[in-house]
Structure 1
Amino acid sequence: MTTIPTAIPDTMKAILLNGHGGPDMLEYRQDIPVPTPKDHEVLIRVSAAAVNNTDINTRIGWYSKSDHSKDDASWGGNALNLPRIQGADVCGEIVAVGDCVDNIRIGERVLVEPCLSDVNGESVSPAWYLGSECDGGFAEYTVVSAKHAYKIDSDLTDIELASFPCSYSTAENLLTRAQVVKGDRVLISGASGGVGSAAIQLAKARGATVIAITSASKHDLVLGLGANTVVNRNENLGETLGTNSVDVVIDLVAGEQWPQFFDVLRPKGRYAVSGAIGGALVELDVRTLYLKDLSFFGCTVLEPEVFCNLVSLIEQGKIKPLVAKTFPLEAISQAQTEFQEKKHVGKIVLTVTE
């Protein structure tokens, strides 16, 4: 392992997830061993890490399709290896590298791609997720394959940069899979959340017309992000927008409104989904699917070009960070509680090191 002159401590502060359940499963510790990078890994001093749905879903066992038991409640559908350090949204600085990584990378300011296809130089399938299948960024230090640590050149603060990785890469992946292009009319559910607000900006960057679904209290904020039209989430979409009126649906909610998405999709329309916060079990009239020649895209593992494209957009200033509030690492329970209340627009970020 190669390090920079600044001493790396033996132990660090971190948040341990000790089991599935409520916030009481999260334990703040100051005596966790600092990880050592393996041959193809880098050690990152974490400066900021944002909160997202994946952290909470993993904690409560939401991914389990059986009884929320520990047997299939990780992001990848396997048992979670506990205790686990969560945290998928990471901004920090490389302070040490493994033997097979060029030490010129030491000192780089980086964003971490949270969807991991490479673990210490070896391909993994299905992909891992940072903070689920391996330890993540709710700690002073974390390790990741060098491939997934992207150097970033930006005037934004580390807190602002930490708002991007998970939400914006998920949004960019949805748009990539759905092949959104200039001139498309794109309907986005859950538009005020982290992924939804990112999808608005990224769809606009592609030249699309954006119709955003959100609560009445957030209309002005969502319009400020660039949405062309805002629809109240309680409205009937077919009555408000008209049948066969949109090219693409970017869905983060599912739930009771789900069948309406297919009323408003045009023939040969595209539906892409990466969330189900409104309810995972929905009803589909299969006749609508085949008679309209619709295409469905489940979006989890990032396409190879997605994160690189995202970093480029950040560096060019084509998308802006949305930080709703910050908390110190030790206040993670309060941060996640406010996150679940869904009264904010954008990201809630934990500050780790300065």
Structure 2
Amino acid sequence: MIPKTMKAMVLTGHGDLDKYEWHEDWPTPTPGPMEVLIKVGACGLNNTDVNTRTGWYSKAVDEPTTGGAYSEVDDDDSTWGGAPLTFPRIQGADAVGTVVAVGEGADPAIIGRRVIVAGWLRDWSEPMNRDKAGYFGSECDGGFAEYTKADIRGVAAIDSDLSDAELATFSCSYVTAEGMLDRAQVGEGDTVLIPGASGGVGGALIQLSKLRGARVIAMASAAKHPEVAKLGPDRILPRNPRNLRAELKGERITVVADVVGGEMWPKLIDMLERGGRYTCSGAIAGPIVQFDLRTFYLRDLTFTGSTVNSPQNFFDVVKYIENGQIKPALAATYPLTELREAQQAFIDKHHTGNIVVIP
């Protein structure tokens, strides 16, 4: 029997971690047409949760991702899509759980199946219309609760021996990484340089680049090298080497896959071979960078931003999971009641890999 109310962690506005409120009597969602109701088993954390809470996406903010409140946020462009966020909001994009009910038009055969939720909300008559896209846990309520609902076309039933917590590490990080690599057309013969390799997307970039037959050079702080090594990069460099060119002597970097940005950014671009590609889906070390147009055009470089990716990227990741071609990088689990502590650990990079909360 589905209860009328549920436990949920609710975001009440932009700001610090005190903007989260714990509720034990929040209304359980009701699935609408083509929707399924999911009893959440686990939900991963990602940078979008932090950036949306703090309002970092606003152009009024030019600082690195800090996880704290900013002195100035323009509410009109405070989300990934440059639009206002409505409150209260239940965040949590990386939901995994069991379908317990369906709305009108949704196939009831999915009831009882374990599913992963795709992060992107789409107009399914135009699934690649980026102007109509939204994000789960941002433009609608997400998985930081006992129950959530999602469009049946944006979930995948999955057969896997992995736990709910392990499965909750994949959706945002790995689909983001797959979209980046698609945009950069990474394949055999490429050498991919990955700054921020100890994070969720960085770890996914390592595995998915190797799956495509590329050579991978990861960058991470020395303390995290042992964990990064488990993901199979060909080489691991320091996070901020004194002389990156010397470290890369003999390497031909054809792709930089970046979610870091910041002061290191010009050095990364300088490492690209003529005709190389740069793909980006984040800027945790700072969104404002020094860009020399001469490097860009004289070397025939291609730059791609990667946010709203193809639905196929999600279903490809699910296939890789079921085939055992990629593995989860689960760093730690926390009860949902400790979401603030979990997010602080995520911000402080206390763990290598993904952090997951359990309702």
State the TM-score bracket (shorter-chain normalisation).
Answer: over 0.9
Task: Show the counterpart of 2:47.
Answer: 53
Contact kept in structure 2, 1:242 and 1:264, CA below 8 Å = no
Corresponding position: 1:80 with 2:74: no
Which of residues 185, 188, 193 is equivalent to 1:187? 193
Which of residues 13, 29, 41 is equivalent to 1:19? 13
SS at match of 1:133: coil
Corresponding position: 1:33 with 2:27: yes
After superposition, the C-alpha distances for 1:37-73 in whole angstroms (9 at most, x for unaligned) are: 1111111111100111110111111011124132211
One-letter code aligned to 1:273: C
Query: 2:251, 2:280 → 1: CA distance?
Result: 19
Task: Show the counterpart of 2:69.
Answer: none
Q: How does 1:237-252 map to 2 (within 5 A)?
A: 237-242=244-249, 245-252=252-259
Which of residues 265, 269, 272 is equivalent to 2:276? 269
Corresponding position: 1:62 with 2:69: no
Query: 2:340, 2:249 → 1: CA distance?
Result: 43
Alpha-carbon shift at residue 26 of structure 1 (Å) = 0.3
Task: Show the counterpart of 1:3.
Answer: none
One-letter code aligned to 2:277: R
One-letter code aligned to 1:29: H
Q: How does 1:186-225 map to 2 (within 5 A)?
A: 186-225=192-231
Query: 2:198, 2:58 → 1: CA distance?
Result: 26
Contact kept in structure 1, 2:7 and 2:22, CA below 8 Å = yes
After superposition, the C-alpha distances for 1:213-241 in whole angstroms (9 at most, x for unaligned) are: 11111122212210111111221322221
RMSD over aligned CA atoms reads: 1.4
- Normalising by structure 1, we get a TM-score of 0.95
Which of residues 169, 177, 180 is equivalent to 1:171? 177
After superposition, the C-alpha distances for 1:215-274 in whole angstroms (9 at most, x for unaligned) are: 111122212210111111221322221498201100010011101122111111110000
Query: 1:335, 1:182 → 2: CA distance?
Result: 38
- Normalising by structure 2, we get a TM-score of 0.93
One-letter code aligned to 1:21: G
Task: Show the counterpart of 1:145.
Answer: 151
Counterparts in 2 of 1:122 and 1:9: CA distance versus 1, 3 Å: farther
After superposition, the C-alpha distances for 1:151-177 in whole angstroms (9 at most, x for unaligned) are: 111010111001111111111111111
Aligned length: 345
Query: 2:26, 2:271 → 1: CA distance?
Result: 52
Q: Mean alpha-carbon deviation: is it higher for 69-78 or for 109-118?
A: 69-78
- Runs of 4+ in structure 1 over 4 Å off: 121-124
Contact kept in structure 1, 2:123 and 2:132, CA below 8 Å = no
Task: Show the counterpart of 1:102.
Answer: 107
SS at match of 2:341: helix
Q: Which stretches in structure 1 are left out of the alignment for 5+ residues?
A: 1-6
Task: Show the counterpart of 2:304.
Answer: 297
Contact kept in structure 2, 1:76 and 1:133, CA below 8 Å = no
Task: Show the counterpart of 1:313.
Answer: 320
Corresponding position: 1:113 with 2:107: no
Query: 1:126, 1:344 → 2: CA distance?
Result: 35
After superposition, the C-alpha distances for 1:94-138 in whole angstroms (9 at most, x for unaligned) are: 11111111111111110000022237x786634101111111000
Alpha-carbon shift at residue 304 of structure 1 (Å) = 2.9
One-letter code aligned to 1:332: L
Task: Show the counterpart of 1:4.
Answer: none
Q: Which stretches in structure 2 are left out of the alignment for 5+ residues?
A: 61-71
Query: 1:319, 1:303 → 2: CA distance?
Result: 19
Task: Show the counterpart of 2:264.
Answer: 257
Contact kept in structure 2, 1:118 and 1:145, CA below 8 Å = no
